[in-house]
Structure 1
């Protein structure tokens, strides 16, 4: 693959809050940044994670196979 056709290298950070799950994604090769808020689902914790990743894929072209780092934290405990 030549330099102009390098595969993406996405880094994703997620904050799991009581009302929203916040996503921030960076493609380190192109410099593209994407952010997103998804409502949490108290009756099905974690469902919003897949929803958010699907939305980033559809909206910003994020290919799950090109994610090289994924980190998450939560403010739920801090906020209570």
Structure 2
């Protein structure tokens, strides 16, 4: 099982580094390239560089809020029965 955990950890690390590198290049380096450069076809428009993380953050915050609410309701029911 330990080898499987290492493989999953390595895969998650590699995925995170790839996303970080892509996003960093997209936000920091790409604005300095000419707009007709071929590299622009591999990236979404610049406004998505802000919209995607904002929507992901709102979604994760909503998911976390639902989880905390569910745990609080479950905890409240447990106190009533004891």
Provide the TM-score with structure 2 as the length reference. Answer: 0.24
Higher relative contact order (CA 8 A, sep 6+): 1
- Specify which structure has the higher proportion of strand: 1
Bigger proportion of residues as helix? 2
Bigger Rg over Cα: 2
Give the TM-score, by structure 1 length.
0.24
